[in-house]
A = this chain, B = another copy of it.
Amino acid sequence: MSSNLFQDLPRNFPTEVFTSLLESPAVRIERIVSHGHSSPRDFWYDQQQAEWVVVLKGAARIEFADRMLEMRPGDFVAIPAHTRHRVDWTTPDEPTIWLAVHSS
């Protein structure tokens, strides 16, 4: 992919598309593109690393154990390690572009 987050978007993709932008011992930065995708109903992420994630385009909803979080462009959230969450919904109207920063 080019060095632009908003270019080279996938088309007709059956699942979310993850693209690594930077990997170092300290941090991993990735772009995620969703388009109407969500996590399976009983699937929960339970990650060993902390994640900071922002929605840059589109719209999404993340489910945590105790709340739903609506996310619009610019909205960000820090998800500590082992905080269970899932993608409850992303808009079918356009691609949702996320930027995620994983770190220990």
Contact = CB atoms under 8 A, between A and B. Distances in A.
Copies in the complex: 2
A81 to B, nearest CB: 11
A24 interface: yes
Contacts of A17: none
Interface in A45-65: 50, 52, 54, 56
Given A21-B76, A24-B103, A99-B99, A29 B7 contact: no
Query: Size class of A's contact patch?
Result: 20 to 34
B52 A21 contact: yes
A7 B78 contact: no
A26 B104 CA distance: 6
Contacts of A68: none
